[in-house]
């Protein structure tokens, strides 16, 4: 049996043995490969995991019980190393029924180690530890079987070097004096809510309204139709966009009628979506005014806008002097909200390492009474 074939786990005992090796090292590298084209949630093909002793690919199509992997993901004594962790850990929560503890995200860590925020794994591995990864299997359908040696090798490479990468990022952050901030930021991944599904009643806040000007009633309509789309997408197990794209929902909120909306479901399913939107629209139109939501993107007076522009520019320059990518400190919207109300304890700039390194001085320099 070749090395790649032995690394493909298709039985529960083999999974338990591999998890025991990782538990012994107190370290678990993680990644997932999936297909996400025609379902509400992705269909997992593989979960790659490992430690310094070895790497394995769990065949999610083999019907085995992932309890051993789930227990390890939830074990706070074992550090979980991922790159851009949220999506993978959301998928794992649905697959293995567990929430993670003690997560180290190499993409997030990179922003405290002299690299740009959002850097891809391939670039980071090469720039940090000189490892070059070929990207030859990007079009693979990870749910089809059998998988070739090349496909398995490609998948395993995404976890094989994560322990060494973590070591180097920690070393660099220590030399730059940013390790404590990095670790504080990693601790937020211990909150189970970080990997929870989006609540149907709040998904409307993720929809970009563009130039559309919505009043509180318009936002009530948008909230209602977005919730219906989310609930129907889950029930039908289709991508939410198939039931109407975001501009179509905004159009319903602007026109206050269900006209033509772009969708990919014909026949009975398309009609179910239309009836759902019509019912949601009627309910939102009948809602008392004081129950309509406020604009999630508030408008500020000119003095605040001007001060926040200066504050944002200062923050970016100060972050670079501290060897932290400004993107992990705060967005422009967060800075504007802070300048408008420096007493808001819920603003990220008002607490933790951000207040220590940025918020206190920003409040003194730029806060608008």
Give the chain's end-to-end CA distance (angstroms, integer): 71
Residue 297 lies in a domain: no
Query: CA-to-CA distance for 17 and 12, rounded, in angstroms?
Result: 9
Residues 25 and 104 in one domain: yes
Domain of 361: which CATH number? 1.10.150
Which of residues 214 and 263 earns the better pLDDT score?
Answer: 214
- Residue 144 in this model has a pLDDT that exceeds 50: yes
Residue 252's pLDDT is: 96
Q: State the pLDDT confidence band at 350, using cuts at 50, 70 and 90.
A: very high
**Residue 318 located in a structural domain:** yes
The model's confidence at residue 365, banded by pLDDT at 50, 70 and 90, is very high
Q: Same domain, yes or no, for 98 and 221? A: no
Q: Phi first, then psi: what are they for 143, rounded to 5°?
A: -100, -5
Nearby residues of 140 by Cβ (< 8 Å), 6 or more positions away: 33, 147, 151, 154
Q: What is the pLDDT of residue 1?
A: 34
Count of other CB atoms within 10 angstroms of residue 344: 11
Clarify whether residues 274 and 314 are in a common domain. Answer: no
Q: Same domain for 177 and 210?
A: no
Flag whether 267 is in a domain.
yes
Q: How far apart (Å, rounded) are the C-alpha atoms in residues 130 and 114?
A: 16
And the tokens for 364? 């003194």
158, 63: one domain: yes
Q: What is the pLDDT of residue 3?
A: 45
In a domain, 275, yes or no: yes
pTM: 0.92
pLDDT confidence of residue 6: 62
Query: Does residue 45 share a domain with residue 181?
Result: yes
**Average pLDDT of the chain to the nearest whole number:** 93
- Give the residue from 220, 241, 223, 221 showing the smallest Cα distance to 232: 241
Say which residue the tokens 């179509």 belong to. Answer: 248
Q: Which residues contact 251 (CB under 8 A, 6 or more apart)?
A: 259, 261
Is 82 part of any domain? yes
Tens-place pLDDT, residues 156-190: 999 999 999 999 999 999 999 999 999 999 999 99
Model confidence band, residue 4 (pLDDT cutoffs 50, 70, 90): low
For the chain, how many structural domains are there in total?
Answer: 3
Containing structural domain, residue 279:
203-291
Looking at residue 2, its pLDDT comes to 39
Q: Assess contact for 263 and 248: CB atoms under 8 A.
A: yes
* CA-closest candidate to residue 235, choices 35, 98, 39, 34: 39
Max CA-CA distance within the chain?
A: 71
């Amino acid at each position: 049996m070749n090395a790649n074939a032995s690394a493909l786990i298709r039985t529960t005992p083999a999974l338990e043995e591999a998890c025991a090796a990782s538990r012994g090292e107190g370290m678990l590298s993680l990644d997932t490969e999936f297909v996400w084209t025609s379902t509400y949630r992705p269909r997992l093909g593989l979960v790659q995991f490992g430690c310094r002793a070895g790497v394995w690919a769990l065949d999610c199509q083999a019907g085995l019980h992932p309890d051993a992997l789930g227990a390890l993901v939830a074990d706070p004594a074992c550090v979980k190393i991922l790159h851009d962790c949220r999506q993978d850990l959301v998928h794992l929560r649905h697959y293995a029924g567990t929430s993670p503890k003690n997560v180290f995200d190499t993409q997030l860590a990179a922003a405290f180690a002299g690299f740009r925020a959002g850097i891809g794994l391939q670039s980071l591995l090469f720039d940090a530890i000189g490892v070059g990864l070929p990207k030859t299997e990007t079009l693979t359908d990870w749910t089809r079987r059998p998988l070739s040696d090349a496909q398995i090798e490609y998948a395993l490479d995404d976890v094989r070097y994560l322990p060494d990468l973590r070591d180097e990022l920690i070393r660099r952050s220590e030399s730059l004096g940013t390790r404590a901030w990095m670790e504080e930021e990693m601790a937020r991944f211990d909150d189970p809510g970080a990997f929870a599904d989006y609540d149907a009643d709040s998904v409307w806040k993720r929809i970009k309204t563009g130039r559309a000007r919505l009043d509180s009633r318009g936002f009530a309509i948008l909230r209602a139709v977005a919730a219906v789309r989310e609930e129907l997408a889950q029930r039908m197990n289709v991508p939410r966009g198939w039931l109407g794209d975001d501009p179509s929902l905004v159009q319903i909120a602007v026109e206050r009628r269900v006209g033509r909306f772009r969708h990919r479901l014909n026949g009975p399913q398309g009609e179910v979506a239309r009836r759902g939107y019509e019912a949601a629209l009627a309910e939102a139109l009948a809602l008392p005014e004081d129950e309509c939501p406020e604009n999630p993107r508030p408008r500020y007076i000119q003095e605040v806008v001007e001060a926040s522009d200066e504050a944002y520019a200062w923050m970016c320059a100060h972050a670079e002097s501290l060897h932290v990518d400004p993107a992990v400190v705060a967005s422009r919207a967060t800075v504007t909200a802070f300048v408008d109300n420096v007493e808001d304890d819920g603003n990220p700039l008002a607490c933790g390492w951000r207040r220590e390194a940025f918020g206190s001085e920003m409040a003194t320099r730029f806060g608008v009474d």
